[in-house]
A and B are shown apart, each in its own frame.
Chain A
Amino acid sequence: MSDDPLHMPRACDGRAPDVFRPGGWVPMRQYRESEPVDFAIVGTGAGGGTLACKLAEHGFSVVAFDAGPYFRPLEDFASDESEQTKLYWTDDRIVDGDNPLQLGSNNSGKAVGGSTVHFAMVSLRFRPEWFKSRSVLGYGADWPLDWREMWDYYAEVEQALKIAGPVTYPWGPRRPRYPYRAHPLNGAARALAKGCEALGIKWTETPLATLSAPRGLAHPCVYRGFCVTGCSTNAKQSALVTWIPRAIAAGAEIRDLAMVGRVEVEPSGLVSGVHYHRDGSWRFQRARNVVVAGYAIETPRLLLNSATARFPDGLANSSGLVGKNLMAQSNQAVWGRLEQEVRSYKGPPSLAITEHWNYEDKGKDFFGGYSYMSQGPLPQLWANTLFSARGLWGESLVEAMKDYNHVVGLKIVGEMLPQESNRVTLSDEVDQYGLRIPRITYSWCDNDKRLIDHSLKFMRRALEAVDASDIWIQDDDTCHLNGTARMGSDARSSVVDADCRSWDIPNLWICDGSVFPTVGGANPSLTIQAIACRTADRIRALASRGELEAGSSRPSIQRRSIEVQRS
């Protein structure tokens, strides 16, 4: 128990775990609580981890907090679904609405690196039109970002993560080729490809954030198939093994097992730091700027829990929109049986994809789009799917499970529309820190249902085209959460501006999937990281013009060499 990352902070005493070496450490700068740092960042996932890296490399002093443990994947991760639930955010939460969300495995993370420690690595760009979905496509809300600018930041993230993908991508405007070659297809991906070809639509190898060639101390993917339960070989390019080592090398401090419970606001109306719980007590870190990057539930929860007499409805909430417009993505599936052995447990679960219905608008009776991908459920997940979605138990469950190696499936990532009634509020119950727990209310709208219906019919045809038998549909799953602190160009109808800066409090920022006005039909992690890279560049530009809050405009440390672990 002397080195138990779940119960004892590891990033202390001027050092942090070396994620590339069992038992290893790297030196880490530490900041005093009493002296304000330029940026206190709450959360170290796709948003916060990326931003911590980029701001530190721009020369700002940064402390990034994560409520979760600091793992070394090579020694801490088992090849075991049960054990690896330690990667999920499983603090107490209430879910309601007509379609209560299931939380945990595919939409939350509690670790340094956040959900990227167990994400499926699917790294897609948004369709350009989605950034103007209200004006161009007639639904949702416009983003205040230009797709061409985002295209440049996508390229930066794809290089930073060495995304493995196809030489040419079949949809959308031109993009550079992916840095690393695409991974080979597994049986499930081959079935997807064959189905697409039979139906006359394009498919491609999925751009994935797992290595197809060596990179520094990280080896290429060995196709062990446990991606969504944490990669134990470091092929996965999570924030934990990419942005965060860079952040530390550039002078950022990471504090693990540090739950931020309140953002402090001064009488001036500016924020002055964060109250956080670590090692059994509440502490306070002073900061010139605070960035909330806790994802779509914890971000609004923290803003609401930080209410003061001056901001009785929570911070950054003059629009009344904090917590509202929560968006999940549809995650429905069609499953069947192939006479051949598929053994989809091998390799990343989604090695092949079609974005056809993200880019084709004809033949739809709904707004928005969806992609669909091949699937590779591990045994526990598959058994629970057969039980909960198909209603099997007893002998029928045991017999169906014996067909595990023949199962083939297609699953969508579908766009759900923003609705103010889908929201995060505070319950009266409190958690282990004494903080009010979130209540998450979710109901599908008619458009969501029509999209789901379209996708299920289409994917059924795709499985019929590969001669699958015993086809059935799983109609009630969701994934990825976004929204609850949307960005926009008007303070009355959004929470932050295009730079992720809150309209109400100029030194309070939000940088994670919360800022999405719409979600599109593509996995959000690449876009979250691209926005974080852009935000860091914008902050540097604002600082150089003296447009950050007093005292925060001067980079306080010297830029250090980056990627020392990889040299």
Chain B
Amino acid sequence: MHERSDRYPGYDVLAKWSGPSWNDKTREVITRRLSIAPEPRFFTADEYETVVAIADRIVPQPADRPPVPIAALVDRKLDDQIMDGFRRPGVPRDGEAWRLGLKALNAEAAAAYGKRFAELPEALQDKLLRAAQSGELASGEWGGLRCEVFFRHRLGRDIVLAYYAHPTAWSEIGWGGPASPRGYVRLGLDERDPWEAAEATDGGDATAFRSNRRVR
């Protein structure tokens, strides 16, 4: 039913959807997020393919549940022009920085291995991403964009924020989730309200599972 790596077995933050922890505005916002189709609006098909491949490496997802459509979430943020609002000199605004960085990453993949990034085996994809993280990629395609700045402030940031904006990720980490207007009552160490996730402790999987199925 669930893998041992599941720290909060049976917990689904969405079970509280109709309860006093979710207000109308939150339901409206999350409804929109959950209805995003896994296809691009901002990115071209080629760019989108690369973002999907990168997202799989930055936040790998288990095969036994529907995946969070990370690339589509990033795409919509850029399409809606939701920006960080600050950038280094020479760095284009967020959407253009993504296009430039993806082009450069594919150029690096082609120069080193003769393939597009998405066509590389995972180990080589990771190697390229690690090189970007540590500032070792210097193809002319990067222009004024330093690869480590792109990796940290754009690529990784946008992907990580997209994944952890999804209720699936909230359930995975056992977060209490939206809590307006009900809020929380039990605040202390090792204290938990009945509508919070129960953590599976050694040998306690079944207990946690039963508790989490009752969360509303």
Contacts and interface: CB of A to CB of B under 8 A. Distances in A.
B25 A232 contact: yes
A341 B156 contact: no
Given A397-B58, A398-B59, A404-B175, A391 B84 contact: no
A83 interface: yes
Nearest to B176: A345
**Chain A at the B interface: mostly helix, strand, loop or mixed?**
loop
Given A80-B26, A80-B29, A394 B57 contact: yes
Interface of A: 75-83, 85, 88-96, 100-104, 108, 184-187, 190-191, 221-226, 232-233, 338, 340-343, 345-347, 378-380, 382-384, 387-388, 391, 393-395, 397-398, 401-402, 404-405, 439-440
Interface residues of B, number: 61
Given A78-B23, A79-B177, 4 more contacts: A79-B180, A94-B86, A96-B89, A233-B180
B210 interface: no
A312 B210 CA distance: 72
A92 B28 CA distance: 28
Contact of A79 (B23, B82, B173): B23
Contacts of A382: 164
Contact of B22 (A79, A104, A226, A395): A79
A346 B184 contact: yes
Interface in B18-75: 21-26, 28-30, 33, 57-60
A224 B180 contact: yes
Nearest to A338: B189
5 A-B pairs with least C-beta separation = A222-B183, A90-B85, A79-B178, A224-B179, A186-B187
Contacts of B58: 393-394, 397
B89 A94 contact: yes
Contact of A383 (B126, B152, B163): B163
B184 A92 contact: no
Contacts of B28: 78
B23 A404 contact: no
B115 interface: no
A88 B85 contact: yes
Contacts of A186: 187-188
Contacts of A387: 152, 156-157, 160
A239 to B, nearest CB: 21
21 contacts: A78-B28, A80-B165, A80-B178, A83-B25, A103-B85, A184-B187, A187-B191, A222-B179, A223-B185, A232-B25, A341-B191, A345-B176, A347-B187, A380-B160, A393-B59, A393-B129, A393-B160, A398-B60, A402-B173, A404-B173, A405-B197
A384 B161 contact: yes
Contact of A232 (B23, B163, B175, B176): B23
B4 to A, nearest CB: 12
B204 interface: no
B214 interface: no
A380 B165 contact: yes
Contacts of A88: 85
A187 B165 contact: no
Contacts, number: 195
Contacts of A94: 86-89
A317 B179 CA distance: 48
Nearest to A379: B164
B174 interface: yes
Given A90-B83, A404-B173, A383 B26 contact: no
B35 to A, nearest CB: 15
A102 B160 contact: no
Nearest to B73: A82
A103 B86 contact: yes
A503 B172 CA distance: 58
Contacts of B172: 398, 401-402
A75 B25 contact: yes
Contacts of B191: 187, 341, 343
Given A79-B178, A222-B182, A383-B160, A397 B187 contact: no
A95 B190 contact: no
A394 B126 contact: yes
B67 to A, nearest CB: 13
Interface string B125-136: 010010001000
B87 to A, nearest CB: 6
A142 to B, nearest CB: 32
Contacts of A440: 86
Interface string B105-121: 00000000000000000
B203 interface: no
Contacts of B173: 379, 401-402, 404-405
A382 B165 CA distance: 12
Given A79-B26, A187-B188, A402 B7 contact: yes
Contacts of A338: 189
Contacts of B87: 92-95
Nearest to B182: A222
B181 A233 contact: yes
A102 B187 contact: no
Interface in B181-215: 181-185, 187-192, 196-197, 199
A383 B164 contact: yes
B184 A90 contact: no
B170 interface: yes
A100 B146 CA distance: 14
Contact of A222 (B152, B184, B190): B184
B2 interface: no
A78 B29 contact: yes
Contacts of B180: 77, 79, 222, 224, 226, 232-233
B133 A341 contact: no
Given A187-B187, A233-B181, A404 B86 contact: no
B148 to A, nearest CB: 11
A498 B94 CA distance: 41
A368 B84 CA distance: 31
A384 B187 contact: no
B169 interface: yes
